[in-house]
Amino acid sequence: MNIVWEDAYSIKVSPDKGGVLISADRGGLLSLARVLEALAEEEPGSHIHLDQYNSLEDGSAELIIEKI
């Protein structure tokens, strides 16, 4: 999966009242949109893992997005 990330971006994922809060600046939102667009072109079962060691801000919860 080839994803183009913005040069400067911020994305944080946090638990929030039984759900998940994704907080992102403009660059982060554009980057997430590209992640979703790239994943949409993959086979069912394809997925991407994002965490504080891979694309998200420090302290972020892990985010796994899967195509069904």
What would the pLDDT profile of 46-62 be if each residue is shown by its tens digit? 999 999 999 999 999 99
Band (1; pLDDT cuts 50, 70, 90): confident
How many separate domains does the chain show?
A: 1
**This prediction's pTM:** 0.88
How far does Cα 20 stand from its chain's mean position? 12
Domain extent for 62:
11-66
What would the pLDDT profile of 6-51 be if each residue is shown by its tens digit? 999 999 999 999 999 999 999 999 999 999 999 999 999 999 999 9
Nearest-angstrom CA–CA distance, 1 and 55: 15
Instruction: Give the DSSP H or E segment for 28.
Output: helix 26-40
7: which residues sit within 8 A by CB, 6+ positions away? 27
Please, are residues 46 and 65 in contact by the beta-carbon 8 Å criterion?
no
